[in-house]
Structure 1
Amino acid sequence: MGKRRTANLQGNVRQRPNGLWECRFYVTEPDGVHRRRVSVYGPTQKEALQKAHEYQVQHSRGLVARPDRRRFGDFAKEVLERHTRGKAANTRRNYARELALALEHLGDIPLQRLTPHDLRRMLDRVSEAYSLRTTAKVLERVRLVLREALALELIHRDPSTAVRLPRASEREKAAQHLEPSQVRVLLEYADASQSPLMALLLRVLVQLGLRKGEALGLQWRDVDFVGATLKVERQYTLQGSKAALGPLKTRAARRLVPIPADLLARLKARYDGLLAEGYTPRGLQGAFVFGLDRPLDINAPNHYLRRLVERIRLEHPDFPQVRIHDLRHTAASLLLARGVDVSLVSERLGHGNVNVTLSIYRHLLSEERQQGVLPLEDLLDGPRHRA
Structure 2
Amino acid sequence: MKFEFADRLQKLPPYLFAELDRLRDAVAARGVDIIDLGVGDPDHGSPAHVVESLCQAAADPANHHYPAYSGMSSFRDTAAQWIKNRFGLTLDPAKEVIALIGSKEGVAHFPLAFVNIGDVVLVPSPAYPVYHASTIMAGGEPVEMPLLKENDFLPDLDAIKPEDLKRAKALVINYPNNPTAATADLDFYKKVVEFCHEHGLILVSDAAYTEMAFDGYQPHSILEVPGAKEVAIEFHSLSKTYNMTGWRIGYAIGNEDLVAGLGKVKSQIDSGAFDVVQQAGITAMTGDQDFVYRNNEMYKGRRDVLVEGLRNLGLDVATPKATFYVWCPCPDGLTSTEFTTRMLEECGVVSTPGNGFGAPGEGYVRFALTVSKGRLQEAVERIAKMGL
- By relative contact order (CA 8 Å, sep 6+), the higher-ranking structure is 2
Both structures adopt the same fold (TM-score exceeding 0.5): no
Instruction: From the CA coordinates, give the structure whose radius of gyration is larger.
Output: 1
TM-score range relative to shorter protein: under 0.3
